Chains A and B, each alone.
Chain A
């Protein structure tokens, strides 16, 4: 039976793992290669590395980080952050990533999705969407807006429509982050996740807001997510993917165990 994936996310800045709370405060949480290996050993089904270094010099550091992280990692490995062209993506694949995640650059130039998909296959393209509910809208979920620049600027697109377009252009997965819940540990945005998951035929990875096991049970059930991403829940010894999955299994969620 196909299982629900628990994906460990490492936010990386200047070659170090950090974790933002609502994209602002930053806490140092270690070496990416060491952290990725630890998460894989402790049962994570996949590793996502999101580079939040926006500088040009940061690119070389990132490629070195990807290379070191990929070396001994034998689970799927996705890298995002600063990928603006198909050439950027090719460099990240060469360094050992299996997938790239594109966000602002794909909104600015949607053909980027087509280009990476054509060269590397749809399975290698994850379109990341930073979403914020619009409290003023008639339907805050259907009208949820896409944001860019770390959640600071509206992109002028509706989340569900952009997810559909991304799929049509050849995205293999959608990584949906709720900006309202990110880092808050108050639970995923299940309504929004379900709306996107029902609108597309590709897997949806839910992100933002994980704080308890029950939050994961909800997003895999009501939220119709295929995978869930978590950063803070894994850090500082709060929990491991394995112990999380053991709890999910007790709640009837199909997960990869033993792992």
Chain B
């Protein structure tokens, strides 16, 4: 399985690459070579950083190439900011649009007695029928580190609770995202990445 990992210069790709390779994937990194995206079988958009960094995807033409690949039915996984990018945008960088594949926008956790960012291991409750989260039992733990989150919508594949209930995973067709870091979430995380590598691409998206 050939997996393209998108590098938009917002942090460190080593852990994601290591986990994908551990699962037997052949990884290829691109920071702007669109031909790589044009012939790939899977796309992973990692992210540890600021939503504004996704501006680089627009500048390099990667946004257009990714949109086309999604249109061809290539399975896509966004991680953390990579998941948030699938929505219309985020209040972290209001001037920077996301892909808009999922309606709704991401916003910061409300300040109160709890600390923001949300850092650590929290449980997820997966929706029945999620292909990405197949085999993940209710209450399994995954590792989070973020201050912005996506709201719960009909496309939400899993929810978690911190300050409020938020979408910890999203999935429609072959397009998926996780707010947590599966590459840092032990056996549960590897199971989720393994699901992403083995699911069959459903028919073309539009």
Q: Which residues of A contact B (CB under 8 A)?
A: 1-5, 40, 45, 70-72, 74-77, 93-96, 98, 119-124, 172-173, 201-203, 226-227, 256, 259
Contacts and interface: CB of A to CB of B under 8 A. Distances in A.
Interface residues of B, number: 34
B138 interface: no
Contact of B121 (A96, A119, A256): A256
Contacts of B118: 2
Contacts of A93: 12, 14
Interface stretch (B70-78, B85-93, B181-189, B198-206): B181-189
Given A124-B48, A201-B116, A226-B120, A74 B12 contact: no
A202 B183 contact: no
Given A3-B121, A70-B18, A121 B10 contact: yes
Nearest to A93: B12
Given A5-B121, A76-B184, A226-B120, 12 more contacts: A1-B123, A74-B19, A74-B190, A94-B14, A96-B14, A121-B48, A123-B48, A124-B12, A172-B145, A203-B119, A256-B141, A259-B141
The prevalent SS among residues of B at the interface is mixed
Interface in B21-40: 22
B120 A3 contact: yes
Contact of A98 (B15, B116, B144): B15
A45 B120 contact: yes
B44 to A, nearest CB: 16
B163 to A, nearest CB: 9
A11 to B, nearest CB: 22
B18 A45 contact: no
A203 B119 CA distance: 7
